[in-house]
Every structure is written in C-alpha cells, then in structure tokens.
Amino acid sequence: MSAGAWMTAGAVWEGSGVREAQRLGVSLLDGKTILVTGVANRWSIASGIARRLHAHGARLILTYQGERVEDSVRKTAAELGGGPVFECDVASDESLRALAAAVGPIDGLVHSIAFVKKEDLSGKVYDTSRLGFAMAMDISSYSLIALVGHLKDNLNDGSSIMALTYLGGTQIVPNYNMAGIAKAALESIVRYLAFDLGERGIRVNAISAGPISTASSRQVAGFSAMPAKVAAAAPLKRTVSADDIGNCAVYLASDLSSQVTADVHFVDAGYHAMGMYPDPPKA
Ligand code: NAD
C-alpha cells in the first residue's frame, strides 16, 4: 500500500478487523434494534454510523428534523434495510413523547445532534448572547437528557447509548467557541447518565470525532482548513470519515464493549494526544 493511501479519509487498512469481520461474515449486531438520530444527508456522521450498524446486522430506526431533509432520510432508510423513520425535534417535549410512543423497544440510541448559531462559531466567546447560549445548550447538550428521559422505558436493559462530541469540548479550538462549551456539558451528561443507568446494564459513552466536512461543521469559521491540519499532525497522518466513526459505533453498540461506560472514545487518528506539532515537511 502506498503512503498516500494511508492518508485518504475513509480508507480501511487491508488487515483491519472490519475487513476481517466482513470476510468471515461476522455480524456483531444481529438481533439489535438501534435508533439513530441526526441523519440530515448522506454526509452526516449519523449516516456513516447507520451504514456501519446496518452492515453488522442491526435493524435501524432513523429520526430526522424538519421536512427539508425528510426525503433524503427516507432514502437512506430504504437503502439500509427499510426500517421506520420518524420526525423528531429534540427541542419539543411533545415531539419526544410522540417518538417514545411510536418506536417500541430498542437496544441502542445514537445521539448525533448539534445546533449553534453561526454568529457563535467565530469571534469572541464573551460576545455570545444569552439566547445563543441557551439554544446551543438546549439542542446540543440537554437533548441527550431529554432523549434518554423520554426513551428510558423503550431502552432494553443492557442497551448502549452514544453521543458525538469533539476535542473542542475540553481543549481550546479557535472559533469552535459555543459549540465547545456545549460539548463540555454533553460529555459530563454522558458520565452522569452512565451512573443513572448502570444498574440496568445500560452503557453511555461518547465518540469524539476528528473534523469531518458536514453541514454543521462548515458553520465553524475556518473549518475548511481543519482536516488538513489534523492529517499533518496526527500520529496516523490522515483524516477520518463518517464511516470510521461508524466502525467505533459498531463496537460501542455491540456486546464487545459490554464493560465500557462513561467514557469518551477518540476517533481522530490520534490527534488529541499530540502535545506539540511536528514541523511541516521541508520542500
Ligand atoms: P449534520 O449537520 O449532518 O448533523 C447534525 C444533525 O443535528 C442534523 O441531522 C440536524 O437535523 C440535527 N438537529 C439539529 N437541531 C435538531 C433538533 N432541534 N432536533 C433534532 N435534530 C436536530 O452534522 P454532523 O457533523 O454529522 O453532526 C453530528 C454530530 O457530530 C454533532 O453532535 C456534531 O457536533 C458532532 N461532531 C461533528 C464533527 C464534525 O467535524 N463534523 C466532529 C465531532 C463531533
């Protein structure tokens, strides 16, 4: 394999466990029903997660927000086993109640939702408005509490819950600003929910994804330069794709991770562990 192939987003190492599992016909999620939120289009991280969960035999239930994305989400659902699709706006308790009444029992829940006003993704954090703060925290952080609160009777004992987070929740990432503050809260919520639900064997974890170009991430000022910065500095010398995140989601949804909870798993080619960045290669 050429050195360049290692740097391609989404490339899977020929000898990786995933290829091996596919070759041997191992389905880690047979018999499990998993509710995936946050599919807006095929580039959404939730779409990559749904693709990988489906590849491992999970029955999927997808939710979407707003008529604008309904057709795209229904198409994705049809391509991935034809499971049910429901509208759900996490800002509305009525919408969450309707979802809980409709979905039936589930073995997994993927929270892949965030919203921050564009003006709060650049400039100075001290200019964040009270409304911008409240909206970001409500949709990006509280929504995990709200989803779990409404779906707790749908979740079978032993289920797996996961949420998407980013390094900007614990480190300073210029312009990530209000989104980082919301991710810090989300990661804390993951830990407290893990404690609440542990006695039922329900696990709650977060996946910290490296930068991936999506409708949401492109709202962050200067986002377009971020993947290349990660590829240049990360130990694995590459960026990550939504399907890479999906592979971690398969592990977290499966019984292989049955003793893993209250954790943040980084899927960022190792970038988070760097304390100093290497010099760029000499021309
Ligand atoms: P995306 O825009 O494809 O997905 C965001 C989703 O949030 C959309 O499906 C949108 O409909 C949904 N959403 C927003 N408001 C909602 C509401 N009120 N009710 C229900 N759903 C609502 O972008 P993405 O990058 O795939 O984001 C998914 C998750 O991954 C987010 O939590 C994001 O912060 C996180 N994340 C993204 C990156 C990245 O670089 N793209 C990195 C780390 C973490």
- The domain spans of the chain are 24-268
Which is nearest to 184 in space by CA: 163, 168, 172? 168
In a mutational test of the pocket of ligand 1, which residue from 62, 171, 207, 214 has the highest number of ligand atoms less than 8 Å from its CB?
A: 214
CA of 12 to the centre of ligand 1 (A): 24
* Alpha carbon separation from 156 to 25, 75, 144, 207 (Å, rounded): 26, 28, 17, 21
How far does the centroid of ligand 1 lie from the alpha carbon of residue 283, in Å? Answer: 38
Q: What is the pLDDT of residue 8?
A: 38
**Band of residue 281 on the pLDDT scale cut at 50, 70, 90:** confident
pLDDT in tens, 219-266: 999 999 999 999 999 999 999 999 999 999 999 999 999 999 999 999
Tell which atom from ligand 1 comes closest to the C-alpha of 210: 42
Q: Considering the chain, what is the average pLDDT of its residues?
A: 93
Distance (Å) from CA 187 to ligand 1 centroid: 15
What atom in ligand 1 is closest to the CA of residue 223?
40
Q: Which residue has a Cα nearest atom 29 of ligand 1?
A: 112
When pLDDT is cut at 50, 70 and 90, the band that residue 24 belongs to is low
> Residue 280 — very low, low, confident or very high, per pLDDT cuts 50/70/90?
confident
**The pLDDT of residue 15 is above 50:** no
Instruction: Report the catalytic residues.
Output: 166, 176
What pLDDT score was predicted for residue 214?
98
Question: Which ligand 1 atom is the nearest neighbour of the CA of 39?
Answer: 9
Q: Which tokens hold the place of 35?
A: 């509710």
Confidence of residue 20 (pLDDT cuts 50, 70, 90): low
Residue closest by Cα to atom 3 of ligand 1: 44
Quote the pLDDT of residue 283: 74
Note the pLDDT of residue 21.
57
State in Å: Cα 36 to ligand 1 middle.
Answer: 12
**Torsion of the alpha carbons at 149, 152, 158 and 164, rounded to the nearest 10:** -40
Provide residues with CB under 6 Å of ligand 1. Answer: 38-40, 44-46, 65, 88-91, 112-115, 139, 164-166, 209, 211-212, 214-217
Nearest to 262 by CA among 161, 136, 140, 126: 161
**The pLDDT value given to residue 41:** 96
- 114 CA to centre of ligand 1 in angstroms: 4
If pLDDT is split at 50, 70 and 90, which confidence band does 23 have? low
Residue nearest to atom 5 of ligand 1 (CA): 113
Q: Residue 213: is its pLDDT beyond 60?
A: yes
Q: Whose CA is nearest to atom 35 of ligand 1?
A: 164
> How far is Cα of residue 13 from the mean position of the Cα atoms in its chain?
22
Q: Which residue has better confidence, 24 or 118?
A: 118
The terminus-to-terminus CA distance of the chain in angstroms comes to: 24
Lowest mean pLDDT among 27-36, 104-113, 128-137, 273-282: 273-282
If residue 97 lies in a helix (H) or strand (E), which one and from where to where?
Answer: helix 93-103
* pLDDT of res. 279: 85
- What fold characterizes domain 24-268? Rossmann fold (3.40.50)
- Asked whether residue 30 carries a pLDDT value surpassing 50, the answer given is yes
| pLDDT tens digits for range 173-209 | 999 999 999 999 999 999 999 999 999 999 999 999 9
